[in-house]
A and B are shown apart, each in its own frame.
Chain A
Amino acid sequence: MRKSFGKLSTSIQVGGSLDDRRYETTSVYGEKLFLPDFNSINNVEPTTMRNKTILTRQRLLGAFAQANFTFDEWLTLNVTARNDWSSTLPVENRSYFYPSVGLSWNIMDMPFLKSKPSVVDFFKLRATFAEVGNPAPPYKIRARLVPQTSTGGGFLYDFFGDNPILKPETVRSYEFGTELGFFKRRLTIEASWFSKTLIDQIIFQRLSYGTGFIFGLLNGGEMNTTGFEVQLGLVPIRTKNFEWELNMNLTHYDTKVLYLPADQSEYYNSDTWVHNNVRASAFAPADLLAARFNQAANRFDPTVNGRGAGSATAIGGFSYLRNSKGQVLINPTTGYPIMNSNFLPIGDRNPDFTMGIVNSFSFKNFNLSFLLDIRKGGDIYNGNEHYLVRNGLSVNTLDRDVAIVIPGVLRDGKEESEAPTVNTKEIIPSANETYYTTVLSPEEFVEKDINWLRLRDVTLRYNFPAKVLGNRRAIKELSIFVNGTDLFLITNYTGADPYISVTSPATGGAGGFGLDFGKTSLPRQVSAGVTVTF
């Protein structure tokens, strides 16, 4: 529906949506095919035929309305409202509403600026507030019984607990942005700042078995991500035959954990727990951890464990046990440090910023472009080195026959006194392999503040001029190129390549970046080719 009132033009849309999902998985198994190469379940020995089926149904109904108000073509207000009804939530919570409001102000199109000559080509400001509601996975408000393989068969409860009071989760976000163009677009700037808060997050959280289950599906946890992104486009030189174009982008964001589901200390991604006692975790804020891990056998040390506290991108792992002054505690009998075998933060994988710079030079029909990729900060767990050290394969274990004294104080009852006993016991690492296999804490293998500069991509291209292609224009464009990727890397990381992840993107969540185990560096690739457009 559209209508105009003077300079104000409006449009209103209403609609509904219906989302009906049905997943059916049928697995069949049979042995002894009668006819070779005829792969059908009907072609097997009947007594070996087995079958299993899983049916999942999920339905979502939505009703929405959108209103758009534009005043004199320079001020636009966009309002949306939506209500969803989901089959996966408890009946009393299945309906939920979420709105959004967006305002866009195109300053250069205002009447007193429009059509006046200016170095400013365009100048836009925008602000958005939006909420999105999400339903739960199906069949989780009541626990289910699953078949058992023990003697006599039967059913017992599955891992997942019931939650009859589950609510939808909400993502609430604010964004402010601007777009600027100068000098006939030879300089463009785009900048935005955003804040995104995840409320009543629906999450499978491991819990005490006192719940009767291993996992609970909870509304819980609140995380806030703030960040900014700046893009800069510049054309420093533009002549008839030569052009230099420069594009830069800079990104920074930070996800803070306000509290975790069920007020837990840690949430971790089990797919990332692949070596020793290290995993990708989200941790509750430092003050909460300090209050909970405050005993002699599990002390949270602000210096070592503070890094990553309250972060959704922490490295969780074991660290050395320390006294309240932060001195490493040493076993008086062995001379080895004592492990704090609690998962606490031992690093934060989140970088300070990432940056990409693309330079493109065109001279007549030649074009040379290259992309530099820059990252500053962010910790990496060097699991490869940890593995090599544990197995005596790292060059850093070559001094294994040299006697050392591990700095720290003895846990002899005086460790919290004014004058703890300083460790003087000499050990020779090669005399007892447990020094490498179990005594060394993963915190030793977290490399802090890893930076890199890498040449991600460089391409030299020659575009054949139109006249070469002939008059018939069967070929519209023709070019040849040489391309190189990852040709060089400058970094303070001692492992193979800091651009790693222990999981595939399919894992979701905060991912497994910053955890290096069993990965090799990106290959250097050089390729040459022809691009033809018909």
Chain B
Amino acid sequence: MKNKIIVAFIGLMGLFFFNSCEDYLDVNFDPSNPQSAEGFAILPPMLGQMARGVSFDTRFVAQYTQNWAQVGTNNVWDQHGYVPANDGGGEMWRSHYWTLGKNVDVIIEQATAKEQWDYVGVAKAVRAWSWQNLTDEHGEVILKQAWEPNRYVFDFDSQQDVYAEVDRLANEALTELNRTDGNSSVASLGRGDLVYKGDRNKWIKFTYSVLAHNAHRLTNKSNYNPAKVIEYCDKSLASNDDNFNVPHAGTNSLDGNFFGPLRGNLNNFRPTVFFLNFLNGTVFNGVTDPRLPLMLTASADGVFRGVIPTKGDPTTSNTDPKRMPFLWGANPSATVSTLPGKYFFTNNAVHPLVTYSEIQFIKAEAAFIKGDKTLAYDAFKKGIIAHMDLAKVAAAARDAHMASAAVPQTADALKLSDIMLQKYIACWVIGALETWVDMRRYNYSSDVYLGFTAPPALYIDNGGKLAYRFRPRFNSEYVWNRESLNTIGGNDPDYHTKPVWFSQK
């Protein structure tokens, strides 16, 4: 009997011990860093990361499109090549999967619980936009297995699948953004929304811009639907006030614009002759574009110059008056960090990820393909004017240029190359990926891109072909997901020249 009491006593003690133990061990929550947070705390850096992915990769995209080229000779990106075993051109990959990535899910989860449908819609719109950019840059990407818990090997999915996902997600985003129930409000969304200040209508327009891009990239496909594209454009950005401008405080290199002098990323880039010729009258009937001195800078001798990709600036001495200046508008001997910068290349400049001008050019091209030249011409003119306003061209100079021989004066006189070249100017650097999509849709045709020539020397592994995609990020897929790459030819030496789905018939 006595023993039984002891046993029971020990048993009770044990139960008590283990119950309190569970509490005692429940200390695995980081008291210094949150493990979840509401949308207003996640959204601001996500908007910054959207611009980060685009701007980091723009360095190289803009070399492929010949927006700019290196001041030195034989740069491999100028040659339509790539740097092996390097993450260059893999920033969007990083943004999409990691810094936007599951952060999007945190917003959706938190906002759904609080019935903040505006946050849910914004999160989905951002992810749709990101898928679109990612696949336009890389072609095949990880779609269906992305973010799957406890998975370490990921299959690549076709670009066609990604396009369908963008359409699906963007439509879901629209549904959420259009909801009138729940706890959506300008004040609540505005807390985290550095871009549109909580204005849901602008997010709806942004979401339509994603759909417009998504539908318009199919010009080479038999099911291309220009009417649908025009409809999306009309529901999209309606003026420069609707531009998707990611702001930058510009107080230090961490919160400054990627293209600003504080970051010092543009030291070695110079505009190409190809681009200069659109502004200096060479291509457009001898008329100098008023945007020339606002976007570019002349050498000390007053002459505007451009480089031929892979050839660099032939003038190498900074004291030579022919030396090409920085894109920040100063001689390369200047102390970069103290320069004020120029155009969208200043420390506190916004990064416009989508512009009204770009949407008007998409509409113009769609209408042109549809055969509605009047509509095309109208959108074409609106596109130029909107960009001139962005570049801060004075109204009188703008109107004079619109009436000049550089711009077709009737709808009938409008050519496809007019639309694509004016769009090229409007998207120069700030919309470099859009330009690259366009150039690939037209297979870099010099009939459309007047004056375009392949770089004099192509990269050794290209086999004489121009680039059509970036490789997936090296220190992600090439090191840690190699086997899957084999299935899409990602390890082929000329993989970066393999046409993407949208560029093919």
Residues in chain A within 8 A of chain B (CB atoms) = 53-59, 61, 85-88, 91, 94, 138-139, 141-158, 162-165, 206-214, 216, 218, 262-266, 277, 292-298, 318, 331, 333-334, 339, 341-343
Contact = CB atoms under 8 A, between A and B. Distances in A.
B74 to A, nearest CB: 10
A210 B103 contact: no
B462 interface: no
A264 B484 CA distance: 12
Contacts of A210: 97, 142, 145-147, 151, 154, 476, 481
B93 interface: yes
B374 to A, nearest CB: 43
A152 to B, nearest CB: 3
A268 to B, nearest CB: 9
Contacts of A138: 28, 30
B10 interface: no
Given A143-B35, A295-B492, A343-B479, A152 B26 contact: no
Q: 9 shortest A-B CB distances, which residue pairs?
A: A152-B44, A262-B152, A150-B48, A148-B45, A341-B84, A209-B97, A341-B85, A210-B154, A208-B481
Contacts of A143: 35, 102
Interface string B468-482: 000001011111111
Contacts of A264: 152, 480
B130 to A, nearest CB: 13
B381 interface: no
Nearest to B142: A210
Contacts, number: 192
B276 interface: no
Nearest to A262: B152
Given A212-B147, A214-B98, 18 more contacts: A59-B27, A87-B26, A139-B30, A143-B35, A145-B33, A145-B42, A153-B44, A154-B44, A206-B480, A208-B477, A208-B480, A210-B147, A210-B151, A212-B102, A212-B146, A263-B153, A292-B486, A297-B493
A97 to B, nearest CB: 15
Contacts of A153: 44-45
Interface of A, secondary structure class, is: loop
A164 B153 CA distance: 18
B37 interface: yes
Contacts of B491: 295, 297-298
Name which of A145, A265, A293 has the most chain B CB atoms within 10 A of its CB: A145
B99 A151 contact: no
B16 interface: no
A156 B49 CA distance: 10
Contacts of A298: 482, 491
Nearest to B246: A151
Most A C-beta atoms less than 10 A away, residue of B476, B480, B486: B480
Interface in B37-73: 37, 41-49, 52
Given A206-B475, A208-B142, A154 B45 contact: yes
Given A207-B152, A209-B93, A151 B247 contact: yes
B255 A150 contact: yes
Contacts of A57: 27, 31
Given A58-B27, A208-B154, A297-B491, A292 B35 contact: no
Contacts of A158: 33
B17 to A, nearest CB: 9
Interface in B224-278: 247-249, 254-255
A53 B477 CA distance: 36
A142 B35 contact: yes
Contacts of A213: 98, 101-102
